Amino acid sequence: MKKLIAGVDEVGRGSLVGPVFAAAVILNSKINKKKLKDSKKLSKVKREILEKYIKKNSFWSIGSASIIEIEKLNILNASLLAMERAIKKLKKKPKLVLIDGNKVPELQNYKIKSIIKGDQKIAEISAASIIAKVSRDRLIVKMSKNYKNYNWDKNAGYGTIKHLKAIKKFGVTKHHRKTFQPVHNILSP
């Protein structure tokens, strides 16, 4: 029997708004791994096409950590929590979990290994990066409908010049991470 390997990646750590997302993916043997790349190196359209392809050809799950958890735990620990949630939600338990980066969640009864730049090297992690990115982007675009001034549908909540100018002009929303330096600096000049 094939060794079940899960790839895990997170997205949204540097964003100024919304939750951080993580995805865990176990690819089936029929998937064309050559199609999978780091989500940051793909166009939005290509990511969305691949997301559907991956979901059809794998076991996958998504975990997230809320703004409240980010503010309470800090972004690193909230990211690890989102990863832990994604791993635990997988329908099949992997024999090995490969995580992008240099930190891993502490999970009992799981063999976990961190891989720096794993999203560029390991197909399972690339797949997780695609699912996490597309899923979080969908949420941020949905949120942006009520906050058009901030351009979240274009900047995914990251601290672009337009976004920072909008915060200064229109204020901080309930979706902003108030402990993040750019937002914090605007709140307490």
Quote the CA–CA distance of 175 and 18 in Å, as a whole number.
5
pTM to 2 decimal places: 0.94
Give the CATH architecture of domain 5-147: 2-Layer Sandwich (3.30)
Structure confidence at residue 37 (pLDDT)? 85
Model pLDDT for residues 144-170, shown as the tens digit of each residue: 999 999 999 999 999 999 999 999 999
- Domain locations in the chain? 5-147
Model pLDDT for residues 103-150, shown as the tens digit of each residue: 999 999 999 999 999 999 999 999 999 999 999 999 999 999 999 999
- The strands making up 20-27's β-sheet, listed across from edge to edge, are 58-65, 20-27, 5-11, 96-100, 112-115
- Mean of the pLDDT values across residues 69-89? 97
Q: Which residue has the higher pLDDT, 38 or 115?
A: 115
Q: Got the DSSP string for 33-102?
A: GGG---GGGS-HHHHHHHHHHHHHTEEEEEEEE-HHHHHHH-HHHHHHHHHHHHHHH-SS--SEEEEESS
pLDDT band at 189 (very low <50, low <70, confident <90, very high): low
- Contact between 172 and 181 (Cβ < 8 Å): no
pLDDT band at 1 (very low <50, low <70, confident <90, very high): very low
Pairing type for strands 5-11 and 96-100 reads: parallel
Structure confidence at residue 2 (pLDDT)? 65
Quote the CA–CA distance of 29 and 124 in Å, as a whole number.
11
Let me know the angle formed at the C-alpha of 48 by 139 and 146, rounded to the nearest 5 degrees: 25
Report percent pLDDT > 90 for the chain: 87
For 26, the token pair is 């176990």
Closest CA to 154 of 162, 146, 3: 162
pLDDT band at 28 (very low <50, low <70, confident <90, very high): very high
